[in-house]
Chain A
Amino acid sequence: MTWAMFVQHALNGLTLGSLYALIAIGYTMVYGILRLINFAHSEIFMLGAYFVLWGLTLFYLPWFVAIVVAIVVTAAIGILVDRVAYRPLRDAPRISALISAIGVSFFLQNLTIVAFGALPREVYRPAWLENPILMGEVRVLPLTLFVPTLSFLLMLGLVWVVYKTKPGLGMRAISKDIETSYIMGVPVNRIISLTFGIGSALAAASGIMWALRYPQLQPVMGSIPGFKAFIAAVFGGIGSIPGAVVGGIMLGVIEIMAVAFFPDLAGYRDAFAFILLIVILLIKPTGLMGARLEDKV
């Protein structure tokens, strides 16, 4: 393998990994606070991408406006999902909320099929995204630089929110003990809504970037990235925001490098991700950066 090829593979892995990281943050936030694996997250991701397409083709919004509107609408849907499907089950056994999450996931997927049709849709990308920057033999897409930077900034922002702001204090309190938080006057439902809002906005952002990187939309597009991001979140330590970012990027790079070094095993690419998950769970059940249970946010 030449040096240029290695760099190319590394950059491809970094882009893929940062996309996983952005989705993984949403999983990890909700899990940290509610101990709930929000399976509907991958559908929220898909909706974010569809809303941009909708904004562009139905309302002729400019790119920038369409993206902002899509993120806001998707965040609202995330909050709505919590209101309708999770809040009534707050006191029920955790498995009920999990099943409800799976139900929401199927519902949103099929709703999209009815509303937008099942055929994959094309995405028109702005021209500046199409042209790679040449660095010797290595070709760098603008997104390759943009996505990791954005993931990193969002991670810093979230850590700031969680550790330095009042709603963040509420999030940490709820993650420790939801009942005591009620008693101490933490606006629990409002904080949880906020968490779902932020998580869904991030999912929308990653959905949009995913669509720009792999320009095709279909109602089932969320399932595989969602699965991978979930693995990334567990890998990095579910509940930990930096863990989700590190886990996502590592998963992306490992997946690409596995193909790079063992081209004959390329068909088993997904298996690498799952083997990684099993190994991590066996060696360090809390994941790379997962702390003890009670510190999770």
Chain B
Amino acid sequence: MKKLFVLAFLMVLALAGTTLAADTVKIGVYLPLTGQMAYGGQLELEGIQMASKEAPTVLGKKVELFVVDNKSDKVEAANAVKRLIEKEKVVAIIGTYGSSLAMAGGEVAEKAGVPMVGTSCTNPLVTQGKKYSFRVCFIDPFQGAGAATYAYSGLNAKTAALLVDVSNDYSVGLATFFTRSFTKVGGQVVANLKYQAGDQDFTAQLTEIISKKPDVLFIPSYFAEGAIIMKQVKELGAKFNVMGGDAMDNPKIVEIGGAAVEGFVHTTFPYDPSMKDMSPIAKKFTENWKKAFPAKEPNVNAALGYDTYLMVLDAIKRAGKAEPAAITKALAATKGFEGVTGSTTINATHDAEKPVGLVQIKDGKKTYIGSITPKL
């Protein structure tokens, strides 16, 4: 009798489990919410959450988000994805900021056959040879070409120096692509110095760079380090321009960098609240953001998070069912999906092609100075 009771109890539990699972569509999110890349991760999460508030259901079911912090660490990123797939049983994964993290997480998702859509991971290797990895952003060969083109013709720089984080795939990749394009357009790279993530003293490297007298210094760094680097550039009395990549895009740049970031130019994805000719979707996003976070400027990472969530939902809708294989197929077929950062079409390598945006700090304000579509 007792055994029967236990059995019945278990069956009820199992039934309850399945009905619960069928009630919601589970989407996993893994982002760096602590550590070196937390600035960007936090913004992307807010973008995702804002989108999920605006579109809380798909296929008549409620969307359930599972957010895991990957702590800006490659090992934690792989663990986070493992947990999302094995424990939370998600059907699709959004993330992450940071190419190194996306590569580590992507391996796990690939093996499990769960689709993953990257937000702002731009290194080509993130999606290369992977069936289940996608992204809504452009890739670094393109961004590097954009930065090099602007440095050469926009800033009129003939010589460039680089300060690269050797422990980071994004930084190393972007530096390589910048160098390739900059030499191709006729410029010369006169110094290539390195550092390790977590370093706070860059004076030795910068003193060396200053002695080479470059016209521009390109720092493919993350925001937290980039701000300190620029402060030290100023302290050491350097006169050259400083440029960076999309990882330098942050509303707090002026607050943290102060006078040291004046004139700084960075490439980014084609959205910024200071943009002049905004699409209606971008305009709506900006307004809604300001309502949701009155004290905080939106930025492109938030926009990418927002776009990614809606694109995944769009794929689930087109797939007609919330199953990893069907969603993967639908994601690969994404064509002309309109988002805040422009129109997204997933190409053969699972990447999105978008123009490279340029932002400059002018009079203590982030200013969108236009976008370019560089030739590779």
Contacts and interface: CB of A to CB of B under 8 A. Distances in A.
Answer yes or no: are A and B bound together in one complex.
yes
Interface string B224-257: 1001100100011100000000000000100110
Contacts of B34: 113, 118, 219
Interface string B181-216: 000000000010111101111011101100100000
Contacts, number: 95
Nearest to A16: B201
A35 interface: no
Contact of A267 (B42, B194, B235, B252): B194
A259 B237 contact: no
Among A8, A120, A257, A260, max chain B CB count under 10 A is at: A120
B204 A132 contact: no
B134 interface: no
Which range contains the number of A residues in contact with the other chain?
35 or more
Nearest to B232: A214
B204 A266 contact: yes
Given A216-B224, A266-B194, A9 B35 contact: no
Given A120-B39, A139-B235, A269 B199 contact: yes
A256 B204 contact: yes
A258 B231 CA distance: 22
A152 to B, nearest CB: 20
A65 interface: no
Nearest to A118: B34
B193 A266 contact: yes
A224 B195 CA distance: 14
B33 to A, nearest CB: 6
Contact of A260 (B35, B42, B164, B207): B207
Contact of A215 (B198, B199, B231, B237): B231
Interface string A128-165: 00101010000101000000000000000000000000
B196 A267 contact: yes
A220 B194 CA distance: 22
B42 A119 contact: yes
B211 A216 contact: no
A118 B200 contact: no
A107 to B, nearest CB: 15
A220 B35 contact: yes
A122 interface: yes
B206 to A, nearest CB: 9
Contact of A216 (B191, B205, B207, B256): B256
B120 to A, nearest CB: 17
B186 to A, nearest CB: 25
Contacts of B22: none
Given A220-B35, A266-B204, A120 B224 contact: yes
A2 B211 contact: yes
Given A122-B256, A139-B237, A12 B211 contact: no
A115 B200 CA distance: 23
A82 interface: no
Contacts of B199: 224, 269-270
A218 interface: yes
A9 B202 CA distance: 11
A221 B38 CA distance: 14
A291 interface: no
A255 interface: yes
A5 B194 contact: no
Contacts of B194: 266-267
Interface in A83-139: 113, 118-120, 122, 130, 132, 134, 139
Interface string A177-217: 00000000000000000000000000000000010001110
Interface string B39-60: 1001000000000000000000
Given A118-B33, A269-B196, A263 B38 contact: no
Contacts of A270: 196, 199
Contacts of A122: 227, 252, 255-256
B166 interface: yes
B76 to A, nearest CB: 13
B179 to A, nearest CB: 15
B15 to A, nearest CB: 39
21 contacts: A2-B211, A5-B207, A9-B204, A9-B207, A16-B203, A118-B38, A119-B39, A120-B38, A122-B256, A132-B237, A139-B237, A210-B200, A215-B228, A258-B204, A260-B204, A263-B205, A266-B194, A266-B208, A269-B195, A269-B199, A269-B204
Closest 4 CB pairs of A and B: A267-B194, A118-B34, A259-B204, A267-B166
Interface of B: 33-35, 38-39, 42, 164, 166-167, 191, 193-196, 198-201, 203-205, 207-208, 211, 224, 227-228, 231, 235-237, 252, 255-256
